[in-house]
Structure 1
Amino acid sequence: MSSDSSNVSPGMTVEDCPLHVDMVITAIDIDERHRFRMLELGLRRGTVIRVTQRSNFHGRVVAKGTERIALDGQTAAHIHVRRAEHPASPTAPANR
């Protein structure tokens, strides 16, 4: 599979996400045809999502705003994410 970023991080993917935690998509490491479908669904780098449900075979249901999107396990494993930094969060870096 090709990558939409030359520096895809080996970090967390949607498959690894804890439930109900805001995450930011950092890269989508899938082929062009499937990447286009992700764009149609509004899943792209910088989008904030939250895993709301885990299903059989590593599938995930993610929330994007008020929308819910079901992802199969293989797709979930190729969407790279990091924890969202909220300004009011005690773990967010301070602005100096």
Structure 2
Amino acid sequence: MTLALLPVGLDAVVAHVNVDGPLGARLAELGLRPGAHVRTTHTAAAGARVVALGADRIALDQATCGRVQISLP
């Protein structure tokens, strides 16, 4: 399952982030990497999501969310 399909309010664990280059490195710096616990807090226009990583929140476009594989705990 991908982060793009995770319903709002459910917890998940990142299994794989299929994003390369500078964006992949930045996501890892922000904590979006395998083993991270995430929760979708909001959805936005065009399928974008706001994702909670601990106390932090990051906004991701739909294409990026579709490249983040998750598993449910």
TM-score per shorter chain, which class?
A: over 0.9
The alignment's C-alpha RMSD in Å is: 0.8
Q: How many residues align?
A: 73
Structure 1: runs of 5+ lacking an equivalent? 1-11, 85-96
Q: Which structure carries more relative contact order (alpha carbon 8 Å, separation 6+)?
A: 2
Give me the TM-score of the superposition, normalised by structure 2.
Answer: 0.94
SS at match of 1:46: coil
Report which of the two has the higher share of strand. 2
- Mapping 1:22-41, distance limit 5 Å: 22-41=11-30
- Cα deviation 1:58-82 (Å, max 9, x = unaligned): 1000001111110011111100101
Corresponding residue for 1:46? 35
Structure 2: runs of 5+ lacking an equivalent? none
1:83 and 2:72 aligned: yes
Post-superposition offset of 1:41: 0.7
Runs of 4+ in 1 over 4 A off after TM superposition: none
Report which of the two has the higher share of helix. 2
Compare CA radii of gyration and give the structure with the larger one: 1
